[in-house]
Structure 1
Amino acid sequence: MALVVKYIVDGYHDLMDNKSDPRVNDWFLMSSPFYTLGICLGYVYIVKVLGPKFMESRKPFELKTLLIFYNLFQVIFSSWLFYESCVAGWLTHYSYRCQPVDYSRTPLAMRMVRGCWWYYISKFTEFLDTFFFVLRKKYDHVSTLHVIHHGVMPMSVWFGVKFTPGGHSTFFGFLNTFVHIIMYSYYLLAALGPRYQRYLWWKKYLTAIQMVQFILVMVHAFQLLFIDCNYPKAFVWWIGMHAVMFYFLFSNFYKETYNRNQARKEAKAAAAKAAALNGKPQNGVHQNGVEKNGSQKIGICFTSQTALYEHSSNTNGVKSVTNGYTSEETKTLRNRAFVPNGN
């Protein structure tokens, strides 16, 4: 047993010290994966256990101003990361077919390395999305998809920065930062309040854009399984399988959130139409405006309907009121407002 443990420990140190990129070994949080793992596990514990317990007896926080500035920051941060990925490679000299990692210390290579590290840091700032949901008691937003997505990404990106900070797999960050510009722009408009609601009709397309992103990453990554390229196959599988996992998670979310909601709306509209044709109650309200409440019916007769209730010309027991009449006897039904006895 001791030999097995020694073998594992020696293999780990060899991987971290000799197989990793020496340019990032001394950078913040890059010396060991366990710091990132601990932060990710702490994030899950906070949003699923500690946060809800903290908010249990508290009212939801508003956070409107904070959310505006946070989302504005994320738009700017994502825009800068996207710009850096473009200038350092993807819109200049990088090949979309096969792009090995440049392990040199040239200014352009180091610019891409720094961009990769900052992209890794951005995965931690995105934890605030979930923290704000918890503080506002929007627990339905803290879904399994949401927690897995945010909880896994820092760990996934850490390995990329540690071993391949540049080259083929950074295509994922290139696309992802662009998607985040769109996503946080939407959140920013939503945080600004109801007056901007008319600009938010494209919410469901955010998930569709993310799904397209994962398909592009899958195709881009797995193409290296069929061509000769000086890029680690392990990272081809690492990035590709992440894209597959997230694609199916987001696809399932899309179906549950949008397709089923649309089906429910259509079914409800069809039921309401059928009820209207059959003269049946709709949500407890009769076509003549009478609502059932136990054994009592309470209704309102509008001006155009008054003639329907004129059963007698006798005005005894009738009091004049503004714009109509009320009857003291339920049998003399000349009401604008009435409460009949019985069923």
Structure 2
Amino acid sequence: MNNSTKFFDVAYQELAFFPEADPRTDEWLLMDSPGTVLAICGMYFLVAWKGPRWMEHRKSFEFPRLLFWYNVFLIFLSFFISYEFFVVAYQDNYTLWNCQPVVTGNSPLAMRMTSTAWWYFFSKIIELLDSIIFILRKKNNQLSFLHVYHHGTMPFFCWISARYVPGGAKFIAGGLNSAIHVMMYSYYALSAMGPEIQKFLWWKKYITKLQLLQFSIVILHSLRALCLRPCSFPKLVNLFVVFYTGTFLSLFANFYRMEYLKKRQRIKEHKQ
């Protein structure tokens, strides 16, 4: 077998590899089977589709105090998850740009990282309430394809991460995403306080910019891992992350262009 043939044979084996389920998560909530999470996602898509029709001839619900505390709860949950991802990675000597496999075993730090991966997954279940709130408040313009696609697919793919690769190289994606969610839900919490506060909230577009930066970092990080030899973190997972995160980068970039750049251009043209 020549060197080129051997290289492609090894690459194929690495790409075809997918890890076994992590036994440490066997007994954890919603971890036993993907069926329950898929059913939750399916129900979410059904509610996102039928909900606005159900509310069409009904009065919108307004619950600013509950909305405020819901967002405050998600601020603290997101901060906790981001803090845990990065602190455990630092304390357990995770590498940033080199290959970082999942740390197995039942050491306190390994279990702490595994637990954080589960909390990250479970936070995506909780965040499905974002869409329910939009429907009840008849904020149907918020139920864009981007919003529904993002919320409806993240729980299942975060379940895969928590079940098969709870930690390793993916601490970057979960840690960054949760950090940005701290800022995003802070914005929503302040917005729920009413018009007297909303007029001072000028920084929404910068959250979108940070999200675009986050997606770019995650893609580059996964591409970097794909180029490393040897690397025991599953190539298939990194390939999927590149593709999946790429869809978010494209959709969020289009949102930023339409919401901020095009709108600014229309306002400028109107003033001329």
TM-score, with structure 1 as normaliser: 0.72
Q: Is the 1:90–1:174 contact (alpha carbons within 8 Å) kept by the matching residues of 2?
A: no
Q: State the SS of the aligned residue for 1:230.
A: coil
The equivalent residue for 2:247 is: 245
Q: State how far apart, in whole Å, the 2-side matches of 1:79 and 1:247 are.
A: 23
* Rounded Cα–Cα distance in structure 1 between residues aligned with 2:20 and 2:241: 18
1:195, distance to aligned residue in structure 2 (A)? 1.8
- In the aligned structure 2, how far is the partner of 1:265 from the partner of 1:53? 33
Question: How far apart are the structure 1 equivalents of 2:36 and 2:228?
Answer: 36
Q: Give the secondary-structure state (helix, strand or coil) at the position aligned to 1:165.
A: coil
Identify the structure with the greater helix proportion.
Answer: 2
Amino acid at match of 1:209: L
Q: Which has the higher contact order (CA 8 A, sep 6+)?
A: 2
- CA distance, structure 2, for counterparts of residue 25 and residue 91 of structure 1: 25
Alpha-carbon distance, 1:91 to partner: 6.6
Matched, 1:87 2:87: yes
- The share of aligned pairs that are identical, in percent, is 41
Return the letter of the residue paired with 1:233: K
Q: TM-score, normalised by structure 2?
A: 0.90
User: Displacement, 1:90?
Assistant: 4.5
Hey, what does 1:154 align to over in structure 2? 155
Moved over 6 A (4+): none
Q: Give 1:197 deviation, angstroms.
A: 2.5
Contact 1:168/1:231 (<8 A) preserved: yes
1:85-164 → structure 2 map (5 Å cutoff): 85-90=85-90, 93-97=93-97, 98-164=99-165
| Contact residue 30 and residue 36 of structure 2 kept, 8 A | yes
Question: 1:247 corresponds to which letter in structure 2?
Answer: L
Residue-pair matches, total: 254
The one-letter code matched in structure 1 to 2:119 is: W
| Deviation of the 1:55 alpha carbon | 1.1
- Do 1:90 and 1:171's aligned partners in 2 also have CA atoms closer than 8 Å? no
Aligned to 2:234: 232
Aligned 8 A contact 1:221 1:240 in 2: yes
The residue type paired with residue 241 of structure 2 is I
> Where does the alignment leave 5 or more consecutive residues of structure 2 unmatched?
1-16
Which residue of structure 2 lines up, in the alignment, with residue 276 of structure 1? Answer: none
Closer/same/farther in 2, CA of residues 234 and 250 from structure 1, 3 Å limit: same
Tell me, yes or no, if the aligned pair for 1:29 and 1:36 is still in contact at 8 Å: yes
Paired amino acid for 1:62: E
CA contact (8 A) 2:86 2:171 kept: no
State the 1:92 CA deviation: 5.6
| Greater fraction of residues in strand | 1
> Any stretches of 5+ residues in structure 1 without a counterpart?
1-14, 271-343
Work out whether 1:52 is the aligned partner of 2:52: yes
Is the Cα contact below 8 Å between 2:222 and 2:242 reproduced in 1?
A: yes
1:201-220 pair list within 5 angstroms: 201-220=202-221
State the match for 1:63 in structure 2.
63
Q: What's the counterpart of residue 35 of structure 1?
A: 36
CA distance in 2, matches of 1:57, 1:245: 35
Question: Contact 2:215 / 2:245 at 8 angstroms: preserved in 1?
Answer: yes
Determine if contact 1:86/1:92 at 8 Å carries over to the other structure: no
Question: Retained in 2: the 8 A contact 1:169–1:239?
Answer: no
Provide the alpha-carbon RMSD of the alignment.
1.6
In the alignment, residue 54 of structure 1 is paired with which amino acid?
W
